[in-house]
Amino acid sequence: MNESTRRVAITGIGCVTPIGTGVEGLWEGLQRRESAVKRIDRFDPSPFRTHIGAQVDDFAPEAYMDRKRARRLDRFGHFSVAAARMALEDAGVDPAGEDPDRVGVQIGSALGGIGYAEGQLGNFIQGGVRAVDPLLALAVFGGSASCNVSIEFGFTGPNSTNGMSCASGAMAIGEGWRLIRSGEADVVVAGGVEAPLAPLCFGAFAIIRAMSTRNHDPARASRPFDANRDGFVMGEGSAILLLEEMERARARGARIYAELRGYSTTTDGHHMTAPRPDGVQAARAMRQALRVAEVAPDEVDYVNAHGSSTPLNDSTESRVIRAVLGDHTPEVVVSGTKGYHAHSLGATGAIEAAISALVVQRGWIPPTLNLEEPAAECDLNLAEGAGATRTVRRAVSNSFGFGGINAALVFGNA
């Protein structure tokens, strides 16, 4: 079977998010139509301009790995292994029954174990080198996410963790799609993980004034495409998709959420934080993903927008969507879900990919929370209120990151 005929099914979803854990926890969280953003209590945020974020509360790593393993991993590692285990179980895939050489692991994270490293630096300052966890080096190196997953389940296929900022989760899923299409793997565990809620990391984004300062009203702070948006809200979490070669999935009678039909990535080459004003490279990523997927712009039913709630991103993305979809733009429902779960950096594209697959399967589009006054420059058909119930045959999920990284994924009903 050559690359042009190998198709990719999404057969499992695992996630740890501020609005819910597991595929049904995520879906129920979306249906509640409530934001998880609140004042941070993980540390004292008062020295910074921003005091709010979206935390994952009540997460017990021992529910997903043995106690010894849990002690050896940091929060970033916990999220990685937990979401991967949930995705495998959701797909009905037993790692022991797989050819390990044919199972790949692709994960994205903007910051990796930086939060844990911060805490260990404090230990070092107070108690010297003997106060530092000897496993620190293994927790913070870039590839720890995908390597920990491979070690946990014994997978020996292609393995990588990319660090391409806020597009990294989507890119990991796209690279997993490529591995299956090319015949290098039959199954890929793919997604994004982030655990950035620590003082220095959080404060760094506050210092550059990238985050919302709506501290008095946290639940309404993340407001994609709204005229009064003032910055993104930081979150944490993980989402892993189980990608599987389509014929294999059907042969074993797997439940298929959606088909992953296309992927593309481009780079603005413009600025570290600001998107390229004309959006030409982001539009090129969308167009190329649709071309590879063999989906015409007038066949798109839904766009899950990056929708970061920053003044520049949302206006530029609106321009990009209009440029790609043309006259069909008013027919396409668009939603930005960061009003729910905030912006978990490298994990966010994977969380939104999971949401997009569920929208294709279940036919309900979550609303754009806190959209009270749509910005004039964001003149899209934005899902509001109770969301939109409709058949979604083709969907696009956009992810844009610092450094000008653009990624687009295309989903279809299977």
**What is the predicted pLDDT for the residue at 138?**
85
Half-sphere exposure (CA, 13 Å, Cβ side) for 260?
Answer: 33
Secondary-structure breakdown of the chain: helix, strand, coil percentages, each rounded to the nearest 5: 40, 20, 35
CA gyration radius, the chain: 20
Helix and strand numbers, DSSP H then E, in the chain: 13, 16
pLDDT in tens, 189-248: 999 999 999 999 999 999 999 999 999 999 999 999 999 999 999 999 999 999 999 999
**What is the predicted pLDDT for the residue at 365?**
98
CATH number of 8-251: 3.40.47.10
Rounded distance between C-alpha atoms, residue 275 and residue 314, angstroms = 10
- Statement: 261-412 belongs to CATH 3.40.47.10: yes
Residue stretches of the chain with pLDDT short of 50: 1
**What is the predicted pLDDT for the residue at 414?**
87
β-bridge pairing 364-365 and 388-389: antiparallel
Kindly tell me the burial class for residue 67, based on how many C-beta atoms sit within 10 Å of its own C-beta (0-12, 13-18, 19 or more): exposed
**What is the predicted pLDDT for the residue at 3?**
52
Residue of 175, 67, 61, 124 lying closest to 407 (CA atoms)? 175
Helices (H), 143-260: 144-153, 168-182, 199-207, 246-251
Q: Where does the chain hold its CATH 3.40.47.10 domain(s)?
A: 8-251, 261-412
Rounded distance between C-alpha atoms, residue 60 and residue 66, angstroms = 11
**What is the predicted pLDDT for the residue at 4?**
57
β-bridge pairing 333-335 and 302-304: parallel
**What is the predicted pLDDT for the residue at 142?**
81
Question: For residue 270, what are its two tokens?
Answer: 């413009």
pLDDT in tens, 328-343: 999 999 999 999 999 9
**What is the predicted pLDDT for the residue at 326?**
98
Q: Catalytic site residues?
A: 166, 306, 343
Stated pTM of the model: 0.97
